[in-house]
């Protein structure tokens, strides 16, 4: 059961949306179902993210089919096919090759969470001309001249540029002085390296910050001690902790706490939905996470309470976050594209997505800016960064103000 769909949900689903210009006449030979794909890490160290993506995609499919399917195709139902990206770029690429070979009638898809995986997967989907939507952050994803990839996140470069002034202002308001020393810990995968690159190159210096520790590790991490010892010796004013999976997050935040560098002493800022999932607090404690800030590409804000409530009832998860809202939105985008194209042809669907400029309705409601438009590279126009902060064991949106459910604070030490 998907629960009761609210009027706002119905608008987001496209039920009666003005963007469709009314219900189009169904084609005489409309298919009874259309296939869309989720390719995500269902096994390995990123499996939890894949499971959350699966929950969001499946809920979207059920909501779409319950609200009439793809009406321009005579009410065709959407069918989700799921492929496991595994725990390596090679496995992810192999999964994409199987997907293309085994699903010749596929309309489009979403995945594969980790940017390194998505880089490999989209080499395959691009050749097959499959419209592919991704939440992955790396700038390199949409710097290759591809036509069939659509990046629904602000890129890591843009995220790094956006987060530093926010942190500097927050710190100065709380302490009366500007931070001058920053630490970087990042893993070696594509997304974290894309994030820290502009910090190293230009952004830290722009705000008068000296990088006093800069460490890179290869996931999965076996022992965080050497990394945190260097942080303790360097004594930064705040730490950018840019990892990609929950086991590494756990080791790092616990070791920071063990060395007396918890949030009350060393404000720490992470990046990505994995740092705001329920099992992180279950594996550590609310006390260890209290005050930890996480910047990311999307999170349900205060206007999506009804959607979150339905997700929680359906999945028994304590909240709906980054890794579920994206695939939910992507399924809605594929449905909207088929409505506009009045066709399941993947090239026509991709062309419809390229033509989007939807504001304040339909699938645009699932993004912070409430605008859905991709530029010529496939990047989301007006993509906004969202920041959550752990408070009493729950991540709360603290920025942007239009979405915020709580106020941010900077530990004074």
Q: What is the mean pLDDT of the chain?
A: 92
Q: Is the peptide bond before 152 cis (omega within 30 degrees of 0)?
A: no
410 lies in a domain?
no
Cβ neighbour number for residue 351 with a 10 Å cutoff: 16
Residue 354's SS3 state is helix
Q: What is the pLDDT of residues 123-172, one digit of tens each?
A: 999 999 999 999 999 999 999 999 999 999 999 999 999 999 989 998 99
- Pick the more confident residue, 201 or 401: 201
Name which of 198, 202, 206, 207 is nearest 179 in CA terms.
207
Verify that 52 and 127 share a domain, yes or no: yes
Torsion of CA 53, 305, 297, 87, to 10 degrees: -20
Tokens of 142: 């949409």
Cα–Cα distance, 237 to 207 (Å, whole number): 13
Verify that 239 and 307 share a domain, yes or no: no
Verify that 264 and 393 share a domain, yes or no: yes
CATH number of the CATH domain containing 139: 3.40.50.2300
pLDDT of residue 25: 43
The percent of residues above 70 in pLDDT, for the chain, comes to 92
407 lies in a domain?
no
Q: Which residues pair with 264 in a beta bridge?
A: none
Q: Residue 150 half-sphere exposure, CB side, CA atoms within 13 Å?
A: 31
Verify that 260 and 135 share a domain, yes or no: no
- Residue 180 structural domain: 156-296+387-399
Q: How confident is the model at residue 1 (pLDDT cuts 50, 70, 90)?
A: very low
Verify that 243 and 391 share a domain, yes or no: yes
pLDDT of residue 18: 38
2 lies in a domain?
no
Verify that 14 and 123 share a domain, yes or no: yes
Verify that 117 and 201 share a domain, yes or no: no
Q: Which residues pair with 39 in a beta bridge?
A: 83, 111
Verify that 245 and 192 share a domain, yes or no: yes
Read off φ and ψ for residue 133, nearest 5 degrees: -100, 140
Verify that 134 and 49 share a domain, yes or no: yes
What pairing do the DSSP bridges indicate for beta strands 181-187 and 238-242? Answer: parallel
Verify that 19 and 144 share a domain, yes or no: yes
């Amino acid at each position: 059961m998907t629960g009761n769909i609210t009027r706002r949900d119905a608008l987001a689903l496209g039920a009666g949306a003005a963007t469709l210009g009314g219900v189009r006449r169904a084609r005489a030979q409309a298919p009874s179902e259309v296939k869309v794909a989720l390719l995500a890490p269902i096994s390995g160290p990123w499996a939890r993210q894949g499971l959350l993506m699966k929950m969001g995609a499946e809920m979207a499919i059920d909501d779409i089919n319950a609200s009439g399917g793809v009406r321009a195709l005579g009410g065709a139902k959407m069918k989700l096919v799921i492929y496991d990206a595994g725990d390596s770029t090679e496995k992810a690429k192999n999964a994409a090759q199987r997907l293309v070979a085994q699903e010749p009638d596929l309309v489009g898809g979403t995945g594969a969470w980790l940017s390194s995986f998505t880089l490999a997967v989209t080499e395959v989907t691009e050749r097959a001309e499959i419209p592919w939507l991704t939440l992955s952050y790396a700038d390199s994803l949409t710097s290759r001249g591809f036509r069939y990839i659509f990046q629904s996140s602000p890129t890591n470069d843009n995220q790094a540029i956006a987060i530093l002034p926010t942190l500097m202002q927050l710190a100065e308001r709380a302490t009366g002085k500007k931070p001058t020393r920053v630490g970087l810990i990042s893993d070696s995968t594509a997304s974290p390296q894309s994030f820290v690159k502009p910090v190293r190159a230009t952004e830290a210096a722009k705000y008068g910050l000296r990088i006093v520790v800069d460490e890179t590790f290869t996931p999965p991490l076996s022992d965080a001690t050497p990394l945190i010892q260097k942080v303790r010796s360097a004594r930064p004013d705040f730490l950018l902790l840019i990892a990609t999976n929950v086991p590494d997050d756990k080791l790092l935040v616990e070791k920071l706490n063990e060395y007396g560098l918890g949030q009350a002493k060393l404000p720490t800022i992470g990046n990505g939905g994995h740092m705001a999932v329920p099992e992180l607090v279950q594996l550590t404690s609310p006390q260890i996470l209290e005050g930890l800030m996480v910047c990311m590409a999307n999170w349900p804000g205060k206007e999506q309470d009804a959607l979150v409530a339905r997700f929680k009832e359906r999945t028994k998860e304590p909240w709906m976050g980054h890794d579920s809202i994206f695939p939910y939105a992507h399924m809605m985008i594929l449905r909207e594209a088929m409505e506009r194209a009045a066709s399941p042809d993947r090239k026509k669907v991709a062309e419809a997505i390229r033509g989007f400029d939807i504001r304040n309705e339909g699938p645009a409601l699932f993004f912070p800016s409430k605008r859905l438009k991709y530029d010529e590279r496939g990047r989301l126009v007006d993509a906004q960064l969202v920041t959550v902060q752990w408070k009493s064991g729950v991540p709360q949106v603290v920025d942007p103000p239009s979405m915020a459910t709580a106020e941010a604070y900077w530990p004074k030490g």
